[in-house]
Amino acid sequence: MVSGKSDKVFNAFIYTILLVVAVTAIFPLLYVVSMSLTPYSEVIKHGGFIIIPKKISFEAYERIFSDPALGRSMLVTVFVTVIGTLINIILTTLAAYPLSRKNLPGRSFFLLFIIITMLFNGGLIPTYLIVQSLGMLNTVWSLIVPGAIATFNVLILKSFLESLPEELFESARIDGAKEFRVLWQIALPLSVPSMMTVGLFYMVGHWNSFFSAVLYITDTKLYPLQVIIRNMLLLTQSSELQAEVTVPTAAMQMAAVIAGSLPIIAVYPFIQKHFTKGMLLGAIKG
């Protein structure tokens, strides 16, 4: 097919926009990585703004990872992310599957009841009182249980399950399979893309958990990674920290940012295919 002049102009316009978007997205990441690897002499020489450093130093990372609190907080965050995401997926699936069955008695009421929670919630103080009454203050479960089910993720998984052929479920029931077996052997294997999407949402939320930890946890040994990184950033800005001569403040700040975001960035490429497919399939039916 021969492209006309208008098509070439349109394609050039689209590519230009995509290039601008790509540069806009990549530039901040490049700046963060460069600043985290820049020695103090280079920072002084270039006035504190460096994109591609001529010299590389890992002193900021050495200083960051030498803090025992970082390793301890990493373990807390990994536990919350892994166990929390597993609990999230299980409960979300158990909620989404029955809601996807059109013959569920009271289905419309339950859907309306769940959707309302997207618009209104109990508030910060009532939630805190509930967590306190359950004895979860100063425990890692306070970072998992209050957000065990997200309504948006339930709706994504429900929409995907509704898009599956009903004949598959009917044939299994005719063969004598109960609902749990239908869910386990038919629905779940076919729902991997959508579940990967939901799992990614939950995983990122747990990894970036900050406010819940500040609200429910006072024991510093139970602080997750993001709280420790925030404390490190505050320390690097404090006049009491005399490390500026050898390690720039900006380098330590950017190293802390990389330490907190790199694990998620490293995991995402492996599940990107499932994430994209799950989003598209989950949006077919509402």
The residues, ordered by sequence, that sit 6+ positions from 157 with a Cβ below 8 Å of its Cβ are 92, 93, 96, 100, 191, 194, 195, 198, 282
Span 118-140, average pLDDT: 87
What confidence tier does 283 reach under pLDDT thresholds 50, 70, 90? Answer: very low
User: For residue 148, with 0-12 CB atoms within 10 Å meaning exposed, 13-18 middle and 19 or more buried, which class applies?
Assistant: middle
Let me know if residue 39 belongs to a domain.
no
Q: What is the pLDDT of residues 13-68, one digit of tens each?
A: 899 999 999 888 888 888 888 877 777 666 666 666 667 777 777 777 877 777 78
Which of 5-14, 128-137, 274-283 is least confident? 274-283
CA angle 168, 164, 185 (to 5 degrees): 55
Domain count along the chain: 1
pLDDT for res 62:
78
pLDDT at position 148 over 60: yes
Let me know if residue 221 belongs to a domain.
yes
pLDDT for res 197:
83
CATH number for the domain including 202?
A: 1.10.3720.10
Share of the chain above pLDDT 90, in %: 12
Residues in the chain: 286
pLDDT for res 239:
43
Quote the pTM value.
0.77
Which of 19-28, 111-120, 237-246 is least confident? 237-246
Let me know if residue 201 belongs to a domain.
yes
User: For residue 142, with 0-12 CB atoms within 10 Å meaning exposed, 13-18 middle and 19 or more buried, which class applies?
Assistant: buried
- Are 99 and 158 in contact by the 8 Å Cβ rule? The answer is yes
Query: Within its chain, how far is the Cα of 160 from the centroid?
Result: 21
pLDDT at position 87 over 90: yes
Let me know if residue 206 belongs to a domain.
yes
Give the DSSP letter string of 175-195: TT--HHHHIIIIIHHHTHHHH
Q: Cα separations (Å) of 3 from 10, 12, 17, 132, 189?
A: 11, 12, 20, 66, 44
pLDDT for res 246:
55
Domain that holds residue 133: 58-282
